[in-house]
Amino acid sequence: MDDIATTIAAPDLPFAMNAVQPPQIPPPIWPGPSALCLICVSLAAIGGVFTSWSFLMWPEALGLLAFFALEFRGLSKMARFLVAVCIAMVVFEHATERLDPDITAQAINRAAFMAFFLNSLSFLQHAAGRAPLLRASGHILVHQPPGRRYLVLTFGAALFGMLLNLSAIGLLGTMIAKGVAPGTTAEDQRIAAIRRKRMTLAMIRGFCSIPMWSPITVTIALITAAIPGLKWAEIAIYSAPLGVCFLLLGWGFDRHAYPQRAGDARPEAPSLRGLVPLLALAVAVPSLALGLSQILGTSMIVALLLALPVISAGWLWLQERGHPGAIARVGREIGHNILPNLPNMRTEITLFACSAFLGVMVANIIDTQALGHAITTAGLSSGATLAISAWLIVGLAMVGVNPIVSVTILAGTLPKLAALAISPVAVGVMLVSVWTISMNTTPYSTAVRLSARMIGTATPGQIGPRWNGSYAFSMLCLLSVLLLSFG
């Protein structure tokens, strides 16, 4: 989480500047060694979904290790640390003759699946980043009148984030920075700073809510992979309404801090009807994945990952259909840009793959029976255990411990506490909620850091703990009440 923004912000934001760009050096026609490693891992992960071939563990393990070695110098400090921990754990358990081959194979499969997930998302992110629809929709969101700007922007940022991932912050953040005139007088500058702050908070709160309702998130993939049998729909039926409550709570904070005055000017704003295609697209992608999952007999997450490259290729074709040789142009776009640039997400791939690996390995080491007995002896209920876990994850995030690690370990541990009989669905809802809360408030969050970089007038410490601290605390209290009530 500490250096993610620096590794992906520039290559993933082709729309961030409107100025004339310098001539670009054509990318390589063929993917490099790192990209080939990721392709190998992804193909092996797909094979592992549909077959029981145990030998697929080897291309997964060797492909990931080769990728880590090739990209090690470009990884963030946290990612390097996790790679070292994973290797050290395997070496230690092997040396002490406690290494379980079946558990290790499961951990490798989980890590490969997370790499495949991020690779598949890269296709959609690239297609969305080139689409005029996204730039036009961003203009509509940012240029709404004050009375409805916050709500439109916060819900719109959630839709953008589903399609663009972190590039949504790059697009909307750039529009916010350029759309707010600095002013010439002290009063004008004060008003401009307030407007910029309100729009930034609306954007980041909407973006960070994505795990609460969207299946196209690494968070959902991580949690559903760590809790066998748990489906996205089982989580979303509870987390999506709670996510809406979180967003409306943010709107309440905004209205309380900056009440609308009767005399405020209402400039003419772009029609919200222009957002209908974006909304339709956001509904169509998971709907197609749901249909494919019924046909293939797989989970929706797996079907989604298989469908995204095809959907993205179709979207690229729609963008190129007015040019001669549209299909060939799409092929070149995939071969020249998407596949060679898969390693650009080196830090994210490493963080999620290593965290998934550790989640399986560490959960196998923890004596869940003794832990469950200790918790019940202390008089804690399942709801209290979940609430304490939520505060623990957020607290660790505030001091720099990536929620990827803590969420993965708890996802593999909490459902196994037989003495408490904690519902896997309750664990899933708690984890997606605290992920959202943590990403809103910790200054180490990629979303917070990238927002600060795009806006250019605030630091991560201001946007996260200072601006969003009360909001995050309120969300955490609301979540705790719900967990204690129903747990």
DSSP notation for 63-79: HHHHHHHHHGGGS-HHH
CA dist., res. 120 & res. 472, Å (int): 31
User: With contact defined as beta carbons under 8 Å apart, do 353 and 111 qualify?
Assistant: yes
Interatomic CA distance for residues 352 and 347, integer angstroms: 9
Which three-class secondary structure state does DSSP give residue 144?
coil
Whether 283 is covered by a domain: the verdict is yes
pLDDT at 176 over 90: no
Domain limits at 438? Answer: 30-259+276-486
- Residue 22: is it exposed, middle or buried by C-beta count within 10 angstroms (0-12/13-18/19+)? exposed
What dihedral angle (degrees, nearest 10) is formed by the CA atoms of 181, 456, 467, 471?
A: 90
Does residue 17 fall inside a structural domain?
A: no
pTM confidence score: 0.79
What is the end-to-end Cα distance of the chain in Å, rounded?
31
Residue 270 located in a structural domain: no
**H or E stretch at 154:** helix 146-164
3-class DSSP state for residue 381?
A: coil
| Distance between CA atoms of residues 409 and 402, nearest Å | 12
Residue 170, C-beta contacts closer than 8 angstroms, at least 6 positions apart: 9, 12, 13, 15, 16, 450, 454
- Residue 307, in any domain of the structure: yes
What pLDDT, on a 0 to 100 scale, did the predictor assign at position 20? 36
Nearest to 274 by CA among 150, 134, 173, 128: 134
Percent of the chain with pLDDT over 90: 34
pLDDT of residue 265: 55
- Asked if residue 428 is part of any domain, the answer here is yes
pLDDT mean over 267-295: 83
pLDDT in tens, 97-143: 888 899 999 999 989 998 998 898 888 888 888 888 888 888 888 88
Does the pLDDT of residue 380 top 80, yes or no?
yes
Structure confidence at residue 229 (pLDDT):
87
Q: For position 485, what pLDDT does the model report?
A: 86
Please, which pLDDT band fits residue 7 given cuts at 50, 70 and 90?
A: very low
- Asked whether 278 and 141 are in contact (CB, 8 A), the reply is no
Pairwise CA distance, residues 10 & 431, whole Å: 30
Which of 386, 365, 364 is CA-nearest to residue 375? 386
Dihedrals phi, psi of 473, to nearest 5 degrees: -60, -40
Q: Per the structure block, which two tokens stand in for 351?
A: 């963080």
- pLDDT for the residue 189: 80
Residue 104, in any domain of the structure: yes
Nearest to 229 by CA among 431, 435, 425: 425
What are the structure tokens assigned to 230, written together? 């748990």
The average pLDDT across 454-470 equals 89
Q: Is the dihedral of CA 21, 27, 33, 38 positive or negative?
A: positive
Radius of gyration of the chain (CA): 23
Q: How far apart are CA 476 and CA 387, in angstroms?
A: 9
Please give the pLDDT value at position 29.
Answer: 58
Question: How far is 24 from 467, CA to CA, in rounded Å?
Answer: 39
Residue 15's pLDDT is 36
CB atoms within 10 A of CB 256: 8
**pLDDT > 70: what percent of the chain?**
92
Cβ(47)–Cβ(98) under 8 Å? no
The answer as to whether 10 is a domain residue is: no
Measured torsion, CA atoms of residues 423, 429, 433, 436, in degrees rounded to the nearest 10? 130
In eight-state DSSP terms, residue 149 is: H
Tell me the backbone φ, ψ of residue 243, rounded to 5 degrees: -60, -40
Residue 128 belongs to some domain of the structure:
yes
Residue 365 has a CB neighbour count (10 Å cut-off) of 12
Of 222-226, 270-274, 474-478, where does the model show the most confidence? 474-478
* Tens of pLDDT, residues 257-273: 888 765 555 567 788 88
Query: How many independent structural domains does the chain possess?
Result: 1
Q: And the tokens for 188?
A: 């004008």
